Structure 1
Amino acid sequence: MPALLKNPLHASLLLALFGVVAHAPASAQEDSPYLFGDWGGKRTALADRGVSFEFGHTSETARNRSGGQRELTRYTDQWKLGAVVDLDKTWGWTGSAFQVMFTHRGGDNLGADAGIGNNQLIQEVYGRGQTWHLTVFALSQDLFGGKANLRIGRLPVGEDFAGFSCDFMSLTFCGAPPGNIAGDYWVNWPTSQWAARIKLDTGADTYLKLGAYQLNPKYVDDAYAKRNGWKPDFPSGTTGALIPVEFGWTPKLGGRPGSYKIGGWYSNAGGADLFYDRTGQPRALTGGDALHRGSRYGGFLSFQQQLSGESGRNGASVFLNLTQADRNTSSTDRQIAVGVTYKGVFQRPNDYVGLAFGATHAGPRAADHQRLFNRLHPQSAAPVKDGNEYVTELFYNWSPIASVSLRPNLQYIRHPGGTDANRDALILGLKTNIDF
């Protein structure tokens, strides 16, 4: 992708990456999941004693070849630094583990800087203050002989509910989908809040999860995050709780793994109505404060299934994600995503391709408000977002060694923001991952 290489920052990072690969230790050149291998056996020795580490870097560079108000290239990245301590091995605390994860984000947002008008981020790793975050700070405890597990501490909701991978670069196909359309209170990575989650095994391959997550606007306030995002603090201003529930089935169909989830959520903190004011009149007419709705809610379905190849190793897998939020308070109220990945391309075990299609729906209540506002204030009229933003992404993942991947991709965004007032956009992208 020559256009991407015009960015000096990205070109230098690529050169550095290839240099690291070329000069990596012999152990890393084989099948080690870590770039710097086993640290001369020390990593395995620490894991045997109950301490394991996770260090990684993800970068995402994107350039709009069409669409938006200007043609630009933007780079953003994320570092993650974490550890898990098996308390059974270290302290003899049976069935317990402690996890901590810090995340740092930096860089710029192509969609905003180029004026594309998209709802879903083109670079999923961007956002939440571009600073340090305490992403996980939690204790896990098995109960009832391992039939149940309790997790308590600082957690993102998407860690345990509606979880989905981030193989793709568009946010439409990355992470827990409820956080993509209701991110002002359903908090995904890298932000966390105080929470508790219990998981019950209801059968050999079924489970039930129930959680409670603190709702506080400060956790999703970028200015607050830049000062306090890395701290295990408990800020004032809590407004209520988010209660998610999920039932899951993890069968092996034809000997190949699958994951089938159905769930929902309820928030007792409520939210602002998108159309009415506190007197029950249209806000566009009165200019008054929004009516406060006492609750917010939604539901989700998530299906993933490997269809061919050797179980968990190669072959084709498909997915479907469907999420619906309440229409009174959600400016984007629905998202549908379907896709397929194929691992083992050209008989390279770590290479794979992915293709996905998604639609994110602009909520009708916000559209009704904008239509009425435009009629009453034509001099301040703005586009009405009353349809779907359609996103297609195609990528190829090349892994020269197991710990490094470079993932060039193409994204096409039709009706960015859910309105035909914005030009369709064609995006050239490159996502890289390194596990140290």
Structure 2
Amino acid sequence: MNNYISALSVLTASVLLSPLSMANQPWSQDRQWLFGDWNGERTQLEQQGYKFTAALMNQSAYGLDGGYKDNNGFETTSQLTFGANFDLAKIAGWDDTTANIIVTKREGKSLTNESIKDPRASQLGNVQEVYGRGEIWRLTQAWVKKGFNDNTVQFKIGRMGLSDDFNASHCEFQNLLLCGGQLGKSIGSIWYNWPVSVWGANLKYQFAPEWTVGLGVYEVNPDNIKTASNSDGFNLDMNNVEGALIPVELIWKPKLALFNGLPGEYKLGALYSSAEANDVSVAGKVHDSKHSVWLNAQQQLSQQGADAKRGLYVSFNAVINDKDTTAVTSTQQLAFWYKGPFDSRPNDSVGFGLANYVVNDRVTDRQIATNNSRGYVDYDAFATDYVPVQDDELNVELNYSYQWSPAIMLRPNLQYIYQPAGIKAVKDAWVAGLTMRINF
């Protein structure tokens, strides 16, 4: 990890101090990849159907004020990603067929876990979204996708994360709940986001120009989230499958006159899990299923000049979970970002978002009852057997994404966490963060 940070520091200094770099330098502003085009071989391979990717994401967070420890802690976490995509139509003559494989490795610590939240409480948010699921190598994707009838029907099978194809959302932020799909943040025991993969299959059918429906079947297998060794990240057996998770989603992609014909995407979905789930309020009670519903909406609100990508965007995401079996009954997210805020910086963006976790009142009541049985009436910051009483948690982030080149992105950000882990007695936290992404 220290090697990653040192390399990033040197690279960042080079970027900021070299505005007149030549195009053949790794830090030049038109550099597609940090390691270049391999003397043209990379582009040639892609034209032949072989596309290779390698990237490093680093997210640092510094506690400005508040939190459980109320100190100026600093933590950093990173993710390495190596991938290959194969256009099998070009390679093998298989029309409308692609295959993909991605391997990832995460390292580092979370400021939320180390300083911001009460360590006796279960985690809700995280100020570094790239943290989690263990410091091990993982097979994150290994799938094949086949299109039929001019790709109006697509079938996909293999190893994948559930939010790759359902409840998917854009990520313009460092805060966990403001980044990507929401379900994995509240029902992570069965819904696995990146970097975890599971065996699954899904079918997407575009039945009208603006309308698509999707249906999937995925395993619920706790072996997939084990982190004891690197072998756990490459577990391919299905010996301990506990059930099936079945999502269905309706997608609408209109260009509404209300927004001057600018594109939008709206998703309504639901899931059913056949795996047994524990009741959150009654010890020992078990339910034979679990369910959730969600809404994802993204709309471009304005366009800057002739560039269709520049302008103001808004997204709203909401999840409602099964109240009998889920500690977080719902999440809501509202985010705005403006792409190309300056003519001289058409690829930069400014982002502002708010995201909320709503803790199940049955969980809160059970925590209060547990403390009363142990003689605790008020919050006790030192007792090891005290159970912190959790309520809602609100996350806010303001950031600026500085796209130096297609190869290098820097995203300084300021975050505010209201009631960390939903605990009223813990001081609200202010955090300064920096995301750095490098495409090799």
1:376 counterpart (373, 377, 381): 373
**Does 1:391 find its partner at 2:410?**
no
2:351 counterpart (347, 350, 354): 354
User: Partner of 2:315 in structure 1?
Assistant: 319
**Does 1:111 find its partner at 2:77?**
no
User: Partner of 2:185 in structure 1?
Assistant: 180
User: Partner of 1:31 in structure 2?
Assistant: 30
User: Partner of 1:19 in structure 2?
Assistant: 14
Aligned in 2, Cα 1:345/1:20: closer, same or farther, shift over 3 Å?
closer
**CA shift for structure 1 position 24:** 7.7
User: Partner of 2:241 in structure 1?
Assistant: 238
Provide the secondary structure at the position in 1 that maps to 2:249: strand
User: Partner of 1:283 in structure 2?
Assistant: none
Aligned in 2, Cα 1:114/1:330: closer, same or farther, shift over 3 Å?
same
Identity of aligned residues (%): 33
**CA shift for structure 1 position 235:** 4.2
Amino acid paired to 2:24: A
How far apart, in 2, do the equivalents of 1:164 and 1:426 lie? 25
How far apart, in 2, do the equivalents of 1:12 and 1:99 lie? 29
How far apart, in 1, do the equivalents of 2:13 and 2:50 lie? 30
Aligned in 2, Cα 1:255/1:38: closer, same or farther, shift over 3 Å?
farther
Q: Over the residues paired in the alignment, what is the CA RMSD in angstroms?
A: 2.0
CA displacement 1:276-302 (0-9 Å, x = unmatched):
13xxxxxxxxxxxx2111111101101
Which one has a larger percent helix, Structure 1 or Structure 2? 1
1:163-174 equivalent positions in 2, closer than 5 A: 163-174=168-179
Residues 87 and 97, structure 1, Cα contact 8 Å, conserved in 2: yes
Amino acid paired to 1:103: T
How far apart, in 2, do the equivalents of 1:25 and 1:271 lie? 56
Amino acid paired to 1:63: Y
User: Partner of 1:276 in structure 2?
Assistant: 282
How far apart, in 1, do the equivalents of 2:315 and 2:141 lie? 27
Amino acid paired to 2:180: G
User: Partner of 1:340 in structure 2?
Assistant: 336
CA displacement 1:25-66 (0-9 Å, x = unmatched):
527624343223322221121111111112111100001111
Provide the secondary structure at the position in 2 that maps to 1:100: strand
Amino acid paired to 1:252: K
TM-score (norm 2): 0.90
How far apart, in 1, do the equivalents of 2:313 and 2:350 lie? 11
Structure 1 stretches of at least 4 aligned residues deviating more than 6 Å after TM superposition: none
**CA shift for structure 1 position 400:** 2.0
Amino acid paired to 1:268: S
Total equivalences in the alignment: 415
Tell me which moved more, 309-318 or 42-51: 309-318
1:36-435 equivalent positions in 2, closer than 5 A: 36-67=35-66, 68-69=68-69, 70-117=71-118, 119-223=124-228, 226-231=229-234, 233-253=236-256, 254-277=260-283, 290-310=284-304, 312-347=308-343, 348-378=345-375, 380-385=385-390, 387-435=391-439
Provide the secondary structure at the position in 2 that maps to 1:84: strand
Aligned in 2, Cα 1:8/1:335: closer, same or farther, shift over 3 Å?
same
Aligned in 2, Cα 1:31/1:9: closer, same or farther, shift over 3 Å?
closer
Provide the secondary structure at the position in 2 that maps to 1:398: strand
**CA shift for structure 1 position 430:** 0.4
How far apart, in 2, do the equivalents of 1:58 and 1:269 lie? 34
Residues 116 and 425, structure 1, Cα contact 8 Å, conserved in 2: no
Provide the secondary structure at the position in 1 that maps to 2:81: strand
How far apart, in 1, do the equivalents of 2:412 and 2:151 lie? 42
User: Partner of 2:381 in structure 1?
Assistant: none
Residues 116 and 420, structure 2, Cα contact 8 Å, conserved in 1: no
Residues 175 and 188, structure 1, Cα contact 8 Å, conserved in 2: no
Tell me, which stretches of 5 or more residues in structure 1 are unaligned? 1-6, 278-289
Residues 10 and 61, structure 1, Cα contact 8 Å, conserved in 2: no
TM-score (norm 1): 0.90
Tell me which moved more, 154-163 or 109-118: 109-118
Aligned in 2, Cα 1:11/1:378: closer, same or farther, shift over 3 Å?
farther
